[in-house]
Structure 1
Amino acid sequence: MKNFKSIALALFVAASTIVTAQNKKIDVAKSKIEWVGKKVTGQHNGTVNFKGGTLVFKGKKLTGGSFVVDMTSLTATDLQGEYQGKLNGHLKADDFFGTDKFPTSKLVFKKIVDKGNGVFGVSADLTIKDVTAPVQFEITVKDNTATTSFKIDRTKYGIKYGSGSFFDNLGDKTINDEFDVTVSLQF
Structure 2
Amino acid sequence: MNSPADSPMDSTAPDRPLGARDRDDEGRARNARPRDGLGRPLPYGADGVPRQPEGVVRPPEETVAQAQRLLEEGKPFHAHEVFEDAWKSGPETERELWRGLAQLAVGLTHAARGNATGGARLLRRGAGAVTDWSASASGQRRPYGIDLGEVADWARRLAGDVEGGVTVDAGVRAPRLRG
Indicate the structure (1 or 2) with the bigger Cα radius of gyration.
1
Q: If each structure's helix is expressed as a fraction of its own residues, which one has the higher value?
A: 2
- Return the TM-score normalized by structure 1: 0.26
TM-score scaled by length of structure 2: 0.27
Choose between structure 1 and 2 for higher RCO, CA contacts under 8 A separated by at least 6 residues. 1
Choose between structure 1 and 2: higher strand proportion: 1
